[in-house]
């Protein structure tokens, strides 16, 4: 591999590693907030394009072409919706959202092409970069929580000198004068962190269960899964837990034989012991927290459901193409007087901002992603029929991708993490998997 090829590789892997580090952002007067992932994505796209020019090969795999076609259709819907904008503020929000969309979808198309071209070994490296990045994010969250308990704002000590911005761990409230913290790590929101962790938890769990006894990754994966689950619990995210339940329910069908296995019971038992020991020391404290997070009368619960009430009114005025991309907050401010307030639901955002046409298009795109992971499961079965040892990795991977996708969709009923970079990174892995591993079936 040439030096330029190595640069493209490292830029792609580094982008995946840092793709959830939302707090690593800088305010640039001419461009607004600039996230580290934005910078790395742009550099990767430039390097990827230059690499294609140097190889004199601009061909894209079929999946990347299809995804590019989806991107063009989304862009058309957004541009038509532009004519529904009525204020300068709305126009400003539209262009900010459009720039992000173009960058994200360009990364998706280029990422699929790059992973497919590099093959099986690099696919696992890409998955590893995303997982290790999320694990590093979670590890920072643990340090952040420990520092907060000691009265120290770790973000101020570590991040502020780098970014010049202000951030801190989320403070949920107080119980008997003691602050209740929710880990947000480098994501900026505890619910975002909890939902993002669904990807490594659900993708790695079936792979771990199918590892051979004595495999060198068996113990590290068990420890990692237990650690990520504990961190997810510290986010106190109901949406993340709902998604996890759905994802585990999907995995329960193909992996029901592992329910009572030592491979599953040992890490789950270890997590239960750690959580139980912590809770037992402050039982009343955690009882109050649990009651508040499970009560439907809590204030934040009402907000999550109230945003759905805006959908009929918006569709009545702009049914086909909505209010315009990235404009829910503008509409919400006009109706309620509250500024900079998101829709708290990916589906509300899609319906309100892109109307019935945009929502239908996104539903077709999701169908395509589900079809691709279904194809990956079929490839895993075909490899198993051929007694190819790779089947023991591909089938669990495909089921994990399926569970993670379904869990993310459910969690986004009340949040909108599917507009974030990490979801596009996950989509790269889901969409590329059948092509990468399907080559085994046609090898001589």
pLDDT of residue 444: 44
Q: What are phi and psi of 25, to 5 degrees?
A: -140, 155
Which residues on adjacent β-strands are paired with residue 28? Answer: 32
Whether 318 contacts 351, CB under 8 Å: no
Whether 288 contacts 175, CB under 8 Å: yes
List C-alpha distances in Å: 320 to 107, 251, 376. Answer: 28, 37, 34
CA dist., res. 211 & res. 234, Å (int) = 28
**Which stretches within 86-217 are classed as H helix?**
88-118, 120-149, 154-158, 160-163, 190-196, 198-209
Q: 258 CB contacts (<8 Å, ≥6 apart)?
A: 209, 264
CA dist., res. 244 & res. 98, Å (int) = 31
pTM comes to 0.92
Domain ranges of the chain: 3-442
- pLDDT tens for each residue of the chain, 444 residues long: 666 678 999 999 999 999 999 999 887 765 567 899 999 999 999 999 998 888 887 789 999 999 999 999 999 999 999 988 888 888 888 998 899 999 999 999 999 999 999 999 999 999 999 999 999 999 999 999 999 999 999 999 999 998 888 888 988 877 777 888 899 999 989 999 999 999 999 999 999 999 998 889 999 999 999 999 999 999 989 899 999 999 999 999 999 888 888 888 888 888 888 888 887 777 766 677 677 766 655 545 555 566 677 678 777 788 899 888 888 777 666 555 555 556 678 888 898 889 999 999 999 999 999 999 999 999 999 999 999 999 999 999 999 999 999 999 999 998 888 989 999 999 999 999 999 999 888 754
């Amino acid at each position: 591999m040439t030096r330029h090829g190595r640069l493209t590789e490292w830029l792609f892997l580094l982008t995946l590693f840092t793709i959830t580090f939302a707090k690593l952002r800088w305010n640039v007067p001419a461009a607004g907030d600039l996230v580290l992932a934005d910078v790395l994505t742009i550099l990767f796209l430039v390097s990827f394009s230059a690499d294609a020019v140097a190889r004199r090969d601009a061909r894209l795999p079929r999946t990347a072409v299809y995804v590019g076609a989806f991107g063009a259709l989304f862009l058309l819907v957004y541009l038509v919706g532009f004519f529904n904008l009525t204020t300068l503020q709305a126009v400003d929000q539209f262009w900010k959202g459009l720039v992000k969309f173009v960058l994200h979808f360009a990364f998706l198309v280029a990422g699929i092409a790059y992973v497919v071209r590099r093959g099986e070994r690099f696919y696992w490296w890409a998955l590893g970069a995303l997982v290790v990045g999320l694990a590093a994010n979670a590890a920072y969250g643990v340090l952040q929580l420990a520092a907060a308990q000691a009265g120290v704002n770790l973000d101020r000590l570590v991040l502020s000198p780098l970014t010049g911005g202000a951030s801190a761990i989320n403070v949920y409230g107080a119980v008997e004068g003691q602050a209740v913290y929710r880990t947000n790590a480098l994501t900026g929101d505890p619910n975002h962190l909890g939902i993002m962790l669904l990807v490594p938890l659900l993708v790695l769990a079936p792979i771990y269960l199918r590892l051979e006894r004595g495999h060198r990754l068996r113990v590290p994966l068990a420890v990692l899964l237990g650690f990520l689950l504990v961190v997810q619990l510290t986010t106190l995210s109901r949406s993340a837990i709902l998604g996890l339940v759905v994802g585990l329910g999907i995995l329960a069908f193909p992996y029901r034989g592992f329910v009572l296995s030592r491979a599953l019971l040992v890490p789950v038992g270890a997590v239960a012991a750690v959580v139980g020991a912590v809770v037992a020391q402050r039982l009343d404290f955690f009882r109050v927290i649990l009651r508040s997070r499970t009560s439907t009368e809590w204030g934040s619960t009402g907000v999550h459901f109230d945003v759905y009430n805006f959908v009929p009114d918006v569709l009545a005025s702009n049914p086909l193409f909505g209010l315009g991309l990235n404009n829910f907050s503008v509409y919400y401010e006009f109706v309620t007087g509250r500024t900079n307030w998101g829709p708290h639901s990916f589906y509300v955002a899609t319906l309100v901002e892109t109307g019935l046409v945009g929502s239908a298009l996104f539903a077709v795109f999701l169908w395509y992603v589900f079809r691709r992971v279904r194809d990956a499961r079929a490839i895993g079965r075909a490899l198993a029929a051929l007694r190819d040892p790779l089947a023991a990795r591909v089938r669990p991977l495909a089921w994990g991708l399926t569970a993670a996708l379904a869990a993310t969709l459910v969690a986004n009923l009340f949040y909108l993490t599917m507009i974030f970079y990490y979801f596009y990174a996950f989509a790269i892995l889901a969409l590329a998997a059948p092509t990468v591993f399907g080559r085994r079936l046609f090898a001589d």
